[in-house]
Amino acid sequence: MRFYVETFGCQMNVADSLEMARRLRARGYRATPDMDRADVVLVNTCTVRDHAEHKALSFLGRLADWKELVPGRRIVFAGCAAERLKDQLQRRFPQVDAVVGAKSISDFDRLLDEQGLFPGVGGGSCSGPPPPLGGPSQKGGKKILDERGTVPLFDGKKEWTDAWGWSAGLGPSGLPGEGATAYITIMRGCNFGCTYCVVPSVRGRELYRPALSILDEAAERVANGQREVLLLGQTVNSYRPVGSNPGRDGKDIRHFSDLLEAVSALPGIERVRYMSPHPHYIDELFAERLGRLPQVPPHIHLPVQSGSDAVLSRMRRNYTRDDFCRKLDLLRRHVPGLAVTTDFIVGFPGETDDDFEASLRLGREADLDGAYIFKYSPRPGTASAQGPDDVSDALKEERLARLMAETDSRSRAKMAAWVGQTQTILVEAVRPEGDGFELEGRTAHCRKMYVSSRRSAAVGATLEARVDRADGKTLYGTALDDRV
Ligand code: SAH
Ligand code: SF4
């Protein structure tokens, strides 16, 4: 029995997909990169913007033909779009066999057991097609793997259920995307209430994973050769468990800065990244740790969303433009040369020309290394979607293009300044090239870099390389060992 996984959306979804894949593997299912050879397709979805949800649904639409082709094929629809749409899904997409909403993903294993939909097939052997669906215990011939009532509410006071965490000992899932970097979820949900954002409603309130569970997973991943970890949470630096939360030395891990220090102290760890921090929780202690811990790279992705105080206030972001700039100053005082990337939304309801100019100015003055810019997209059920989406699409497009031109030109200038310098890259992929190899990796500042090398290198290894040239978002160079 083989399964194929298609993941839409953020790194948290990638981490969730890998975890679900491990659970399927533990039941004897094997991952395949080829959908045509799969018996089960697991689609993990995103709903943060209309476009993301649309992509997931058109993929699901195309799966109807895939399913028809071979009797017994199954489709599991999981994640944020599944959570948002679950009541409509069965009607609109009868090809779906099981829906696992984002709030129920942590119960994936138990739900599979209870529903008997994916019985263990044992030792990875192929035991023929699954039994046909439609038994007496199934509503309308479908299984709905969603039990909102039984999933603990994630409010930061309740405990992380160990139904989810790290499936210790299961090892890598065998899926693409599990390369040099170990994606490690440290919290779920979000307690902020940004007025444009659907995340709190589909992922629920914050729940923090116990430090020991995080540290054990990180240590195991490092031992398996993944020497970079990416700590994941919707607002990763709001990690603040209540009650006892001991680290490996028995001392309590109170907040994100402590966790960063504890993960950095694991033997053999090379880099500790985190995504996405929220500006509200950037403080002196965090900045000090960033400056002091050599394992934490000099790069931060810190979403700002807008440069206008009026818009930030209507977005309910909990900071002003000045607050954001002060946080950047604090970080840069502790980490000279810190690379900063951010997210902007353009065309938020009521965004005037002056508001947009303020975002442009921030893009210029904050000395950014790069920005992801999104056109505002109203999400059903959010506060801002109650009012009109009153910036025309043409104007959103124009603002997106102008802000992108501004941030891209800064980014290019910063990239050009790397030429001639030596960088340490963490190898993510290796390909033969002429007499030698092309190594693909990332610098400490999180820039993609391609390196020509006479020698090969292991995925996950680090090496020194000189930057020979740069274009928009990529650096090109030569391994230092190759130079005389
Ligand atoms: N938790 C992170 C962001 C998660 S969503 C934070 O608070 O920073 C990732 C990005 O999608 C956001 O930073 C925002 O720029 C964008 N986004 C979220 N909702 C959006 C919407 N309704 N329309 C357009 N962009 C949106
Ligand atoms: Fe959404 Fe705001 Fe929470 Fe980020 S902090 S996930 S943008 S509500």
pLDDT tens digits, residue range 437-475? 999 999 999 999 999 999 999 888 999 999 999 988 899
Query: pLDDT tens across 402-439, in order?
Result: 999 999 999 999 999 999 999 999 998 898 888 899 99
Instruction: Round to whole Å and give the CA distance between 186 and 121.
Output: 31
Query: 86-90, 260-264, 292-296, 463-467: which range is least confident on average?
Result: 86-90
Per-residue confidence (pLDDT) for residue 171, from 0 to 100: 53
- Mean pLDDT (the chain, rounded): 85
97 with 141: CB under 8 angstroms? no
Query: pLDDT tens across 177-188, in order?
Result: 568 888 899 998
Per-residue confidence (pLDDT) for residue 21, from 0 to 100: 87
* 190 close to ligand 2 (CB < 6 Angstrom): yes
Query: 114-123, 213-222, 398-407, 472-481: which range is least confident on average?
Result: 114-123
440 with 452: CB under 8 angstroms? no
Cα-flanking dihedrals φ and ψ of residue 461, to 5°? -80, 160
* 278 close to ligand 1 (CB < 6 Angstrom): yes
Nearest to 234 by CA among 195, 205, 196: 205
* 343 close to ligand 1 (CB < 6 Angstrom): yes
Ligand nearest to the CA of 359: 1
Instruction: Round to whole Å and give the CA distance between 108 and 103.
Output: 10
| pTM to 2 decimal places | 0.88
Structure tokens at 95: 């090809």
Instruction: Round to whole Å and give the CA distance between 188 and 366.
Output: 30
Does the pLDDT at position 168 exceed 70? no
Cα torsion angle, 401, 402, 407, 411, sign: positive
Give the 3-state secondary structure of residue 335: coil
* 198 close to ligand 2 (CB < 6 Angstrom): no
β-sheet bridge partners, residue 228: 181, 271
- What integer is the mean pLDDT of 330-346? 97
Q: How far apart are the first and last CA of the chain?
A: 53
* 262 close to ligand 1 (CB < 6 Angstrom): no
Confidence grade of residue 172 (pLDDT, cut at 50, 70, 90) = low
Per-residue confidence (pLDDT) for residue 481, from 0 to 100: 78
330 with 281: CB under 8 angstroms? no
Per-residue confidence (pLDDT) for residue 472, from 0 to 100: 82
Q: How far is the CA of 308 from the centre of ligand 2 (A)?
A: 18
Does the pLDDT at position 170 exceed 90? no
Give the 3-state secondary structure of residue 40: strand
Does the pLDDT at position 166 exceed 80? no
- The enclosing H or E element of 312 equals helix 309-315
Per-residue confidence (pLDDT) for residue 359, from 0 to 100: 98
Q: How far is the CA of 234 from the centre of ligand 2 (A)?
A: 7
Per-residue confidence (pLDDT) for residue 173, from 0 to 100: 57
481 with 457: CB under 8 angstroms? no
* 194 close to ligand 2 (CB < 6 Angstrom): yes
